Amino acid sequence: MLGEFNKNSANPTSKLSETMRATAFTTHTYKHTTMGFLEDIQAMPNEYAYSRQFFDRYYVPNTPPSSLRAT
């Protein structure tokens, strides 16, 4: 992800958009880009345990779909 972030941040239009969002939306979540900020991406390895816990909690087949077929 860091490589993709660096590739996109090299584009002047992307950098301008990120700066404008951060300035315009100081308290709203619109200031966040899809990939997040550089600090977020660099902190990802430190948050692996939380990510795994989130995944295990919400990405499980609690109620798998079922289908009936009549012949």
- Over the stretch 15-49, which tens digit does the pLDDT of each residue have? 888 888 888 888 887 877 777 788 888 888 888 88
Whether the model pTM is above 0.85: no
Chain centroid to CA 62: how far? 24
CA distance linking residue 21 with residue 42, whole number of Å: 20
| Residue among 29, 31, 30, 40 at smallest CA distance from 5 | 40
8 A C-beta contact, residue 42 and residue 5:
no
User: Phi and psi dihedrals of 52, rounded to 5?
Assistant: -65, -40
